[in-house]
Amino acid sequence: MVITAGLLAGCATTSTPRTADPRDPLESLNRASYAFNDSVDKALVRPVARGYKKVVPVWTQTGVSNFFSNAKYPITLVNNLLQGKLKAAASDTGRFVLNTTFGLGGLLDPATLSGLARNDEDFGQTLGTWGVPPGPYLVVPILGPYSMRDGLARFADDFVEPSHYIEDDSTRWGFWLGDRFDRRVRLLEADAVLDRTGDPYAFVRSAYLQRREYLVRDGNVPVDENEFEDPALEDPEASAQP
């Protein structure tokens, strides 16, 4: 359901002529995976997501997004601590507690109204701040784009996420699918930008890698390195990771 998760990137431009990218040594295999993911998305996921967005009231969609965002927030809390961001960890703890209690399990977002900023951290970012390079770019069938570092780091994040400990398999997988579907719905506005590019695969690859570098550096990316500037692809949670 995160078939276009590479669009988490903060921005994009029209694609340039196809050239070899040293970050993508498995490009032929990745392009095949991307083509598969894109065909499934266009045939099934995108139409369902569009129907959901058209039929379901906005306030309900917002509540669903808030719920899944809050449920994954322990990942941010733990990785704040691993990166030594104690002030952010304290703020995020307050945010999680406030939204979980007074926000009806996360359906509402009183923390934002209280002035507590939404942060985004994961173990891939933590490894990046520790100096671990991203490694080769990968496109995983169904799951979408990763770097080698971020793909492996996702296993660590899974152990922190509360849904990992749901004993009932159907409930746990339902939670997983719901989270991915909600993320796909929030990326619908990016489809028009992607559809206009000459090489969607290269577009998504650059967007994903740029976004991850931006997150690892906490936004401190030199201007000449941040070549994407289309806000249509900005991740609502500044997080993404499938």
Which sequence spans correspond to the domains of the chain?
5-15+22-233
Model confidence at 74: pLDDT above 90: yes
Q: Are 205 and 22 in contact (CB under 8 A)?
A: no
pLDDT tens-digit map of 87-146? 999 999 999 999 999 999 999 999 999 999 889 999 999 999 999 999 999 999 999 999
Q: Of all residues in the chain, what percent carry a pLDDT higher than 70?
A: 84
Find where tokens 């990218």 sit. 21
pLDDT at 195: 87
In this prediction, what percent of the chain has a pLDDT beyond 90?
Answer: 76
Are the beta carbons of 102 and 112 closer than 8 angstroms? no
Statement: residue 57 has pLDDT above 70: yes
pLDDT at 55: 97
Region 15-22: what's the mean pLDDT? 65
How far is it, in rounded angstroms, from Cα 147 to Cα 22?
A: 13
pLDDT tens-digit map of 208-241: 999 999 999 998 877 655 444 444 444 534 333 3
Write the CA distances from 176 to 2, 71, 108, integer angstroms.
Answer: 11, 11, 20
Q: What's the one-letter identity of residue 216?
A: V
pTM as predicted = 0.82
CA distances from 115 to 98, 229, 235 (A): 12, 27, 20
Task: Identify the H or E element spanning 242.
Answer: none
Q: What is the DSSP letter of 118?
A: P
Residue 6's pLDDT is: 43
Put residue 116 in one of left, alpha, beta given phi > 0 → left and psi -120 to 50 → alpha. Answer: beta
pLDDT digits (tens, 9 = 90+) for 138-172: 999 999 999 999 999 999 999 999 898 999 999 99
Residues recorded for the chain: 242
pLDDT at 12 over 50: no
The b/e string for 66-89 (b: 16+ C-beta within 10 A; e otherwise) is: bbbbbbbbbbbbbbbbbbebeebb
Where does the pLDDT of residue 18 fall: very low under 50, low under 70, confident under 90, or very high at 90 and above? low
Residue 223: its pLDDT value, please? 62
